[in-house]
Protein backbone atom coordinates (compact mmCIF):
# COMPACT_ATOMS: atom_id res chain seq x y z
CA UNK A 1 0.00 0.00 0.00
CA UNK A 2 1.39 3.36 -0.95
CA UNK A 3 0.28 6.95 -0.82
CA UNK A 4 0.11 7.99 -4.47
CA UNK A 5 -1.27 11.51 -4.40
CA UNK A 6 -3.20 14.13 -2.50
CA UNK A 7 -5.45 16.88 -3.75
CA UNK A 8 -5.98 19.79 -1.39
CA UNK A 9 -8.58 22.42 -2.22
CA UNK A 10 -9.73 25.13 0.16
CA UNK A 11 -8.05 23.49 3.16
CA UNK A 12 -6.12 25.95 5.39
CA UNK A 13 -3.58 27.90 3.29
CA UNK A 14 -4.53 26.01 0.07
CA UNK A 15 -6.91 28.46 -1.60
CA UNK A 16 -6.33 26.84 -5.00
CA UNK A 17 -6.63 23.17 -5.83
CA UNK A 18 -3.17 21.69 -5.34
CA UNK A 19 -2.14 18.16 -6.29
CA UNK A 20 0.88 16.53 -4.70
CA UNK A 21 2.17 13.35 -6.31
CA UNK A 22 4.21 11.16 -3.97
CA UNK A 23 6.60 9.62 -6.46
CA UNK A 24 9.25 7.03 -5.55
CA UNK A 25 12.25 8.74 -3.97
CA UNK A 26 10.27 11.58 -2.47
CA UNK A 27 11.18 11.77 1.20
CA UNK A 28 10.36 15.26 2.35
CA UNK A 29 8.62 18.57 1.81
CA UNK A 30 10.66 21.72 2.23
CA UNK A 31 9.64 25.37 2.16
CA UNK A 32 9.91 28.68 4.01
CA UNK A 33 8.35 29.13 7.44
CA UNK A 34 4.59 29.44 7.22
CA UNK A 35 4.42 28.19 3.63
CA UNK A 36 2.06 25.32 4.51
CA UNK A 37 4.25 22.23 5.08
CA UNK A 38 2.44 21.28 8.27
CA UNK A 39 -0.89 21.99 6.57
CA UNK A 40 -0.12 19.19 4.07
CA UNK A 41 0.34 16.74 6.93
CA UNK A 42 -2.78 18.03 8.64
CA UNK A 43 -4.74 17.57 5.40
CA UNK A 44 -3.61 13.94 5.44
CA UNK A 45 -4.67 13.50 9.05
CA UNK A 46 -8.00 15.23 8.32
CA UNK A 47 -8.92 13.13 5.29
CA UNK A 48 -8.33 10.00 7.40
CA UNK A 49 -11.08 11.19 9.75
CA UNK A 50 -9.44 13.41 12.38
CA UNK A 51 -12.21 14.83 14.58
CA UNK A 52 -10.18 17.05 16.89
CA UNK A 53 -9.90 20.67 15.74
CA UNK A 54 -7.22 21.16 18.40
CA UNK A 55 -5.03 18.48 16.85
CA UNK A 56 -5.31 20.49 13.62
CA UNK A 57 -4.31 23.69 15.46
CA UNK A 58 -7.80 25.18 15.26
CA UNK A 59 -10.59 26.12 17.62
CA UNK A 60 -13.48 24.71 15.58
CA UNK A 61 -13.44 22.27 12.70
CA UNK A 62 -14.59 24.94 10.18
CA UNK A 63 -11.30 26.75 10.91
CA UNK A 64 -9.68 24.33 8.45
CA UNK A 65 -11.53 26.05 5.58
CA UNK A 66 -9.42 28.69 3.80
CA UNK A 67 -10.35 31.93 5.55
CA UNK A 68 -8.99 34.44 3.06
CA UNK A 69 -5.77 36.27 2.38
CA UNK A 70 -4.90 39.66 0.93
CA UNK A 71 -5.28 38.32 -2.62
CA UNK A 72 -8.06 35.80 -2.17
CA UNK A 73 -11.53 35.89 -0.62
CA UNK A 74 -12.46 33.23 1.98
CA UNK A 75 -13.89 29.96 0.65
CA UNK A 76 -17.00 28.08 1.68
CA UNK A 77 -15.67 24.57 1.67
CA UNK A 78 -12.53 22.49 2.11
CA UNK A 79 -11.92 19.31 0.13
CA UNK A 80 -9.07 16.87 0.57
CA UNK A 81 -8.61 13.70 -1.50
CA UNK A 82 -6.04 11.04 -0.81
CA UNK A 83 -5.27 8.30 -3.32
CA UNK A 84 -3.63 5.06 -2.22
CA UNK A 85 -2.28 2.23 -4.31
CA UNK A 86 -3.79 -0.80 -2.60
CA UNK A 87 -2.80 -3.40 -5.20
CA UNK A 88 -1.30 -5.54 -2.40
CA UNK A 89 -4.69 -5.28 -0.58
CA UNK A 90 -2.92 -4.20 2.58
CA UNK A 91 -6.06 -2.26 3.42
CA UNK A 92 -9.06 -4.55 3.63
CA UNK A 93 -10.93 -3.38 0.59
CA UNK A 94 -11.89 -4.85 -2.75
CA UNK A 95 -10.33 -1.86 -4.50
CA UNK A 96 -6.75 -1.86 -5.80
CA UNK A 97 -6.75 1.90 -5.85
CA UNK A 98 -8.56 3.77 -3.11
CA UNK A 99 -9.45 7.45 -3.13
CA UNK A 100 -10.73 8.79 0.17
CA UNK A 101 -12.37 12.21 0.07
CA UNK A 102 -13.51 14.46 2.88
CA UNK A 103 -15.46 17.68 2.36
CA UNK A 104 -16.52 20.26 4.90
CA UNK A 105 -18.82 23.23 4.27
CA UNK A 106 -18.92 26.43 6.32
CA UNK A 107 -22.43 25.57 7.57
CA UNK A 108 -20.90 22.49 9.22
CA UNK A 109 -22.13 19.90 6.69
CA UNK A 110 -19.58 17.29 5.81
CA UNK A 111 -19.20 14.42 3.37
CA UNK A 112 -16.95 11.40 3.27
CA UNK A 113 -16.41 9.37 0.10
CA UNK A 114 -14.52 6.23 -0.81
CA UNK A 115 -13.97 5.97 -4.56
CA UNK A 116 -16.73 8.53 -5.12
CA UNK A 117 -19.32 6.60 -3.09
CA UNK A 118 -20.71 8.44 -0.07
CA UNK A 119 -19.79 6.67 3.15
CA UNK A 120 -19.94 7.29 6.90
CA UNK A 121 -17.02 8.49 8.99
CA UNK A 122 -17.05 5.02 10.57
CA UNK A 123 -16.31 3.46 7.16
CA UNK A 124 -13.21 5.63 6.82
CA UNK A 125 -12.06 4.82 10.35
CA UNK A 126 -12.71 1.09 9.75
CA UNK A 127 -10.74 1.21 6.50
CA UNK A 128 -7.62 2.32 8.36
CA UNK A 129 -8.14 0.41 11.59
CA UNK A 130 -5.19 -1.83 12.55
CA UNK A 131 -3.35 -0.64 9.42
CA UNK A 132 -0.78 1.42 11.30
CA UNK A 133 -2.06 4.57 9.60
CA UNK A 134 -5.23 6.49 10.34
CA UNK A 135 -6.17 9.30 12.65
CA UNK A 136 -5.16 7.58 15.92
CA UNK A 137 -1.91 6.10 14.73
CA UNK A 138 1.64 7.19 15.37
CA UNK A 139 2.58 7.19 11.70
CA UNK A 140 2.06 10.96 11.83
CA UNK A 141 3.90 12.66 14.68
CA UNK A 142 3.52 16.43 14.88
CA UNK A 143 6.14 18.76 16.35
CA UNK A 144 4.02 19.34 19.46
CA UNK A 145 3.56 15.61 19.93
CA UNK A 146 7.33 15.03 20.10
CA UNK A 147 7.63 17.48 23.01
CA UNK A 148 4.55 15.92 24.62
CA UNK A 149 6.15 12.46 24.46
CA UNK A 150 9.47 13.65 25.90
CA UNK A 151 7.95 15.77 28.65
CA UNK A 152 5.15 13.36 29.57
CA UNK A 153 4.87 11.19 32.67
CA UNK A 154 6.44 7.71 32.41
CA UNK A 155 2.90 6.27 32.57
CA UNK A 156 1.88 8.34 29.50
CA UNK A 157 4.98 7.18 27.62
CA UNK A 158 4.16 3.61 28.54
CA UNK A 159 0.64 4.06 27.13
CA UNK A 160 2.12 5.33 23.85
CA UNK A 161 4.55 2.39 23.63
CA UNK A 162 1.70 -0.01 24.33
CA UNK A 163 -0.40 1.57 21.59
CA UNK A 164 2.43 1.37 19.06
CA UNK A 165 3.23 -2.22 20.05
CA UNK A 166 -0.44 -3.15 19.59
CA UNK A 167 -0.85 -4.11 23.27
CA UNK A 168 -3.33 -1.34 24.04
CA UNK A 169 -6.24 -2.96 22.22
CA UNK A 170 -5.73 -6.21 24.20
CA UNK A 171 -5.65 -4.22 27.45
CA UNK A 172 -8.91 -2.61 26.43
CA UNK A 173 -10.41 -6.03 25.58
CA UNK A 174 -9.23 -7.31 28.98
CA UNK A 175 -10.90 -4.41 30.81
CA UNK A 176 -14.15 -5.02 28.89
CA UNK A 177 -14.02 -8.77 29.66
CA UNK A 178 -13.33 -8.12 33.36
CA UNK A 179 -16.28 -5.73 33.53
CA UNK A 180 -18.56 -8.33 31.93
CA UNK A 181 -17.30 -11.01 34.35
CA UNK A 182 -18.05 -8.75 37.30
CA UNK A 183 -21.56 -7.99 36.00
CA UNK A 184 -22.17 -11.70 35.50
CA UNK A 185 -20.95 -12.49 39.04
CA UNK A 186 -23.31 -9.83 40.44
CA UNK A 187 -26.25 -11.31 38.47
CA UNK A 188 -25.34 -14.77 39.72
CA UNK A 189 -25.37 -13.46 43.31
CA UNK A 190 -28.85 -12.07 42.72
CA UNK A 191 -30.07 -15.38 41.27
CA UNK A 192 -28.62 -17.21 44.30
CA UNK A 193 -30.46 -14.83 46.63
CA UNK A 194 -33.76 -15.53 44.80
CA UNK A 195 -33.11 -19.30 44.98
CA UNK A 196 -32.50 -19.04 48.74
CA UNK A 197 -35.70 -17.01 49.17
CA UNK A 198 -37.74 -19.56 47.21
CA UNK A 199 -36.36 -22.59 49.08
P1 LIG B 1 6.85 26.25 9.80
O2 LIG B 1 8.04 25.92 8.94
O3 LIG B 1 6.99 27.59 10.46
O4 LIG B 1 6.46 25.16 10.76
P5 LIG B 1 4.86 25.52 7.80
O6 LIG B 1 5.46 25.57 6.43
O7 LIG B 1 4.68 24.18 8.42
O8 LIG B 1 5.60 26.50 8.79
P9 LIG B 1 2.05 25.81 8.21
O10 LIG B 1 2.05 25.84 9.70
O11 LIG B 1 1.66 24.55 7.52
O12 LIG B 1 3.47 26.27 7.68
O13 LIG B 1 1.13 26.95 7.61
C14 LIG B 1 0.87 28.10 8.32
C15 LIG B 1 0.14 29.05 7.39
O16 LIG B 1 -1.16 28.54 7.11
C17 LIG B 1 -0.03 30.39 8.05
O18 LIG B 1 0.35 31.39 7.12
C19 LIG B 1 -1.52 30.49 8.30
O20 LIG B 1 -2.02 31.79 8.17
C21 LIG B 1 -2.07 29.62 7.20
N22 LIG B 1 -3.40 29.11 7.54
C23 LIG B 1 -3.74 28.26 8.53
N24 LIG B 1 -5.07 28.07 8.53
C25 LIG B 1 -5.58 28.81 7.52
C26 LIG B 1 -6.89 29.05 7.01
N27 LIG B 1 -7.97 28.46 7.52
N28 LIG B 1 -7.01 29.88 5.96
C29 LIG B 1 -5.94 30.47 5.42
N30 LIG B 1 -4.68 30.31 5.84
C31 LIG B 1 -4.50 29.48 6.87
Beta carbon of 35 within 6 Å of any ligand 1 atom: yes
Query: Residue 136: its pLDDT value, please?
Result: 65
The answer for residues whose C-beta is within 8 angstroms of residue 131's C-beta and 6 or more apart is 1, 90, 91, 137
pLDDT-flagged residues of the chain (< 50): none
Query: Residue 156: its pLDDT value, please?
Result: 87
Strand, helix or coil for residue 154: helix
> So what's the architecture of 2-135 in CATH?
3-Layer(aba) Sandwich (3.40)
Query: Residue 131: its pLDDT value, please?
Result: 78
Residue 155 Cα, ligand 1 centroid: separation in angstroms? 33
Query: Residue 147: its pLDDT value, please?
Result: 84
| Boundaries of every domain in the chain | 2-135, 168-199
Report ipTM (2 d.p.).
0.96
Minimum-distance ligand 1 atom for the alpha carbon of 42: 11
Annotation-wise, does 34 bind a ligand? yes
For atom 25 of ligand 1, the residue with the nearest CA is: 12
Amino acid sequence: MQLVSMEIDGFKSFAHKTTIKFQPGMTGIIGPNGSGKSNVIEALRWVMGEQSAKTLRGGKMVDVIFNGSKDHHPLNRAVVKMTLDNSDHYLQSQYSEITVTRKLYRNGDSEYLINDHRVRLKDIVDLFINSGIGRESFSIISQGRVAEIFNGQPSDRRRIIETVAGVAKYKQNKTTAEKKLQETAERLDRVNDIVVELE
